[in-house]
Structure 1
Amino acid sequence: MRLIVCGFVVACLALTGCGGSGAATENDEDSSEEKSEYTGPRGWDRSTTRTPGESVQTPFEDPAASGAGGPAQQKYERPYAREDLKNSDPLVVPRSGPPPFEDPGVPPVSGTPMLSGDEQSVRLPAGTFIMGLTDADPFNIQIAGRKRVSLSQFHIDRFEVTNEDYRAYLDSIPPSRRTAARPDSTAWQQADVRVAWSQYFYSDQFAQHPVVAVTWKQARDYCSWAGQRLPTEAEWEYAARAGIVGGIYPWDGFSIQKQDGKFLANYDPGRRGKDSDGYAFTAPVGSYPPNDWGLHDVAGNVAEWVEDAYTPRYNDLSDFNPLHRDEDESRHVIRGGSWKSNAFRLGVGFRDFQEQSAATLRIGFRCANDRARETKKASPTSPTGGE
């Protein structure tokens, strides 16, 4: 029995190399077995990497270009030379029927703005435009965003309502209503202007200046008396932009001045002084050039009430004839900037709001309506309506 056990142990030692022979072989420098070189994660030879003074080589080189194995790049022969293609006539593909898309360069206005018979308003055609600020807004003042909206045809006054216009309205209504309809004289108490309110409103000197210190309801009542209404915010911006896609102001360009230095609006030029544009306070309506649709003072002079109740974002508006009404909202939108505004606030996309019961020296209004009127001239660009 002992002989059997001993023989079994000897056999195990022989098979497993126990007894230290394996350790001696692994550390033996004279061993004939050599370790394989590490070829890197993608199988490329480390010896081909850059040494001082050599160019960079990587495992991502084209294997066909380096002479190694792998698929070679396919070559294609062009049936033409680039120079010949540049000098050849353009390829014309014949097509029958209408084009598959509308020319994006066509202005989104179908029709021509027309002067009304009395030349005091402009009929604007139905159209589509992008509503919202197009100027840079580094301080994130405007949060309404942008919205594509479509409008039906409407009329809008070319001029802001003047003191003379408003006095005619007061004379025509019953005396019992005049006190409530009269501009708020207390708005002058904290004002920094030298002219008194009675002089501004009643004297002939300021008869053609825009009426100010009227509330939203007073402006609305005047337009109703005149058989009109306040414009919606979308209508106001559509009219002010005058078809200029992406414009900042009611005119082309990025400046409030012409090349000859003349100002295009009554506003606050800042360090140059409030009277640098010709007027330290309001200006007679129509003192500055109109936009391309014949509207005056849609930038500067006085900001203007519109019909809409204020909502922070345009998401609340419909995309067709939008008008935001909210009986619980006491604030209403004003547009256009005023004689107290800086250049940024004159932009056609800039919007502000005011309490509907507030009356200030910087806010006036103009009217709009839906009636079709007989027209006299096809071009409203001239103040006189001439061709």
Structure 2
Amino acid sequence: MSSSIKSYLLVLSAFCFMLSCNENKKSKPIQVIEQEPEVNTVDYHENYLREISFIKTREDSASTKNMIKLEGGSYMMGGNSNQARQDEFPRHKENIDPIWVDQTEVTNAQFREFVEATGYVTTAERSFEIKGKKYEPGALVFDPYNPEWWWKFEKKANWKHPTGPDSDIEGKDNFPVVQVSWYDAMAYAKWAGKRLPTEAEYEYFNRAGNDTLIYHWGNDFEKATDMVNFHQGNFPRQNTVADDFEKKAPAKSFPPNAYRLYETSGNIWEWCLDTYYPDAYSKIEKREDGYFKDFINMEQQKVIRGGSFLCSESYCTGYRNSARMSSAPDTGLEHTGFRCVRDI
């Protein structure tokens, strides 16, 4: 890695959400470098959203191929087990409008089609600047044997090379794309004529019609290895691979939930539209309509949902229906991707 400062700032961004499940950590915006002139970091977030707004929506954006139509309804959102954390309370009623939902996480093949059609360059493929210093492109990769930090900045790690330049996605078209930031997911959604789900929508379609369940398949954890891709064994250094996957699994590797949606729990974390607030549920009565859709704050982290292959019963249990987490919007990680929804 090229700089201890760079490594510290970027690793800290990811490491914080792994260690502190219900604290709201703020990350310093990373500045995109396209030419020599300096870019005002205050405008970084707005500049990125402006760039995304210029992306032309694909011609067949009205297609609902590989999407599931949900009629919407009401449900009780929030923690309902002894593993639930403070940011999952209080439970409260949410009303969800009818929506179309991607049946799977966005795959490498789908993301490649987007990149080839638009020429889009992901955040992990861009140089960036911290305090006047320029750094090479790269992203964060998990290293369970690093005694100080589990996440390290890897040069040239990106969606095509998820764990670094020596890795690739050849023959993995059906795997979920990772090392994509919240901005990258927003860009893809704009091109596809869709959007990211709110976290209220995500919990709704993850619960799939039953808001009493801890996991999408029920309350019996003994069935977990047949239902979800997660970490078994002594986290983080021992993985028994009882679910047959050490890391990511291809789309549709596990049974769908009751709404016929695949891997809404486990496999990879999924970006949501919302800015993360640790006390969001406690302010529910005071919020204006669309509170969870706030995505204007450039420094505040964004919600991720669903858990990943790094979650375990002894650690973050992110595959629970109500589990919440967050990450910096400009951060790429080897266990974070997304799926999209479309309004009806």
TM category, shorter: 0.5 to 0.7
Determine the C-alpha separation between the residues in 1 that align with 2:188 and 2:79: 30
Per the alignment, do residues 230 and 219 of structure 1 end up closer, same or farther by CA in structure 2, a change over 3 Å counting? same
SS at match of 1:187: strand
Asked if the contact 1:215/1:356 (under 8 Å) is kept, the reply is: yes
Percent of matched pairs sharing the same residue: 28
Partner of 2:301: 331
Runs of at least 5 residues in structure 1 that lack an aligned partner in the other structure = 1-115, 372-387
Compute the displacement of 1:276 (Å): 1.7
- Alignment match of 1:281 (pick from 217, 226, 247): 247
Per the alignment, do residues 356 and 255 of structure 1 end up closer, same or farther by CA in structure 2, a change over 3 Å counting? same
**Which amino acid letter does the alignment assign opposite residue 66 of structure 2?**
Q
Asked if the contact 1:310/1:353 (under 8 Å) is kept, the reply is: yes
Higher strand share: 2
Query: C-alpha offsets along residues 120-157 of structure 1, whole Å, 9 cap, x if unaligned?
Result: 1111112000111111137x454542111111111111
- Alignment match of 1:161 (pick from 89, 95, 106): 106
1:184-199 alignment, distance < 5 Å: 186-187=138-139, 191=143, 196-197=163-164
- Alignment match of 2:170 (pick from 203, 221, 232): 203
Determine the C-alpha separation between the residues in 1 that align with 2:109 and 2:261: 19
**Which amino acid letter does the alignment assign opposite residue 308 of structure 2?**
S
**Which amino acid letter does the alignment assign opposite residue 320 of structure 2?**
G
Per the alignment, do residues 173 and 244 of structure 1 end up closer, same or farther by CA in structure 2, a change over 3 Å counting? same
Determine the C-alpha separation between the residues in 2 that align with 1:244 and 1:181: 38
**Which amino acid letter does the alignment assign opposite residue 90 of structure 2?**
G
| CA RMSD, 1 decimal | 2.9
Runs of at least 5 residues in structure 2 that lack an aligned partner in the other structure = 1-61, 128-136, 146-160
Determine the C-alpha separation between the residues in 1 that align with 2:211 and 2:126: 37
Per the alignment, do residues 256 and 155 of structure 1 end up closer, same or farther by CA in structure 2, a change over 3 Å counting? farther
Asked if the contact 1:232/1:323 (under 8 Å) is kept, the reply is: yes
| TM-score between both structures, scaled by the size of structure 1 | 0.58
Asked if 1:270 corresponds to 2:222, the answer is no
Asked if the contact 2:162/2:179 (under 8 Å) is kept, the reply is: no
Compute the displacement of 1:275 (Å): 1.8
The count of residues paired between Structure 1 and Structure 2 equals 249
Compute the displacement of 1:244 (Å): 1.1
Asked if 1:170 corresponds to 2:108, the answer is no
Asked if 1:149 corresponds to 2:94, the answer is yes
Per the alignment, do residues 190 and 263 of structure 1 end up closer, same or farther by CA in structure 2, a change over 3 Å counting? closer
Partner of 2:202: 236
Asked if 1:246 corresponds to 2:212, the answer is yes
**Which amino acid letter does the alignment assign opposite residue 215 of structure 2?**
Y
Determine the C-alpha separation between the residues in 2 that align with 1:117 and 1:294: 18
More displaced stretch, 244-253 vs 159-168: 244-253
| TM-score between both structures, scaled by the size of structure 2 | 0.65
Determine the C-alpha separation between the residues in 1 that align with 2:291 and 2:74: 12
Determine the C-alpha separation between the residues in 2 that align with 1:200 and 1:228: 30
**Which amino acid letter does the alignment assign opposite residue 93 of structure 2?**
R
Per the alignment, do residues 346 and 315 of structure 1 end up closer, same or farther by CA in structure 2, a change over 3 Å counting? same
Asked if 1:359 corresponds to 2:311, the answer is no
Determine the C-alpha separation between the residues in 1 that align with 2:112 and 2:168: 8
Asked if the contact 1:239/1:293 (under 8 Å) is kept, the reply is: yes
SS at match of 1:298: coil
Asked if 1:124 corresponds to 2:67, the answer is no
Asked if the contact 1:223/1:230 (under 8 Å) is kept, the reply is: yes
**Larger RCO: Structure 1 or Structure 2 (Cα < 8 Å, ≥ 6 residues apart)?**
2
Determine the C-alpha separation between the residues in 2 that align with 1:368 and 1:346: 20
Asked if the contact 1:183/1:214 (under 8 Å) is kept, the reply is: no
SS at match of 1:148: strand
Asked if the contact 1:201/1:207 (under 8 Å) is kept, the reply is: no
Partner of 1:18: none
**Which amino acid letter does the alignment assign opposite residue 203 of structure 1?**
E
Partner of 1:111: none
Determine the C-alpha separation between the residues in 1 that align with 2:300 and 2:121: 23
